[in-house]
């Protein structure tokens, strides 16, 4: 009888342990982690030119000012590039981020992702470098 109770107790403890473990793991997946203040850097090629777009925080929140940094390695660049934010197949209004050249040769500006009324989170950032071309970056916003 003592063995049976001991066995039942052990099985019960194992079950509780497993339940806690599973709920902890799924909880971990469900919780919205605070978005990182570090930038997400996306790369593309525009002709032979590499183009880097950094967005911070990453993933970018909506309805909040977000920092955009564009670098065009190896080019002196005369006219500053600019970024247009849009959604594929959906009119979200004109949303252009103007960039200005910093002392380090990178171009920076701030912009705001609008929250999509349909609930979609996929956005496109089209970087236009006057005289050099365009590159389209696709990613998801945080909310």
Taking contact as CB under 5 A, which single stretch among the options 7-15, 21-29, 77-85, 87-95 is the one that binds Cu ion? Answer: 87-95
Closest approach of Cu ion to the CB of residue 72, in Å:
29
Cα distance between residue 63 and residue 83, in whole Å: 17
Instruction: Write the DSSP assignment of 39-64 as a string of letters.
Output: PEEEEEEETTEEEEEEEESBSPPSSS
Question: Of 21-29, 36-44, 117-125, 126-134, which part binds Cu ion (CB under 5 A)?
Answer: 117-125
- Residue closer to Cu ion by CB (options 18, 90) is 90
- Whether 36 and 58 have beta carbons less than 8 Å apart is answered as yes
Rounded CA separation 98/86 (Å)? 15
In the complex with Cu ion, the residue whose CB is nearer, 13 or 90, is 90
Q: How far is the CB of 96 from Cu ion (least distance, A)?
A: 16
Largest CA distance in the chain: 87
**Residue from 39, 44, 56, 87 binding Cu ion (CB under 5 A):** 87
Residue 116 is a binding residue for Cu ion (CB under 5 A): yes
């Amino acid at each position: 009888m003592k063995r049976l109770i001991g066995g039942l107790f052990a099985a019960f403890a194992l079950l509780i342990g497993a339940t806690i473990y599973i709920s902890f793991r799924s909880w971990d997946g469900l919780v919205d982690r605070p978005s990182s203040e570090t930038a997400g850097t996306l790369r593309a090629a525009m002709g032979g030119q590499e183009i880097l777009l950094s967005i911070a925080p990453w993933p970018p929140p909506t309805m909040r000012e977000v920092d955009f940094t564009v670098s065009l390695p190896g080019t002196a660049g005369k006219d500053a590039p600019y970024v247009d934010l849009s959604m594929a197949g959906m009119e979200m209004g004109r949303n252009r981020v103007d960039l200005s050249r910093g002392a380090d040769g990178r171009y920076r500006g701030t912009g705001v992702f609008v929250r999509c009324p349909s609930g979609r989170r996929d956005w496109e950032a089209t970087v236009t470098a006057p005289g050099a071309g365009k590159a389209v970056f696709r990613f998801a916003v945080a909310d």
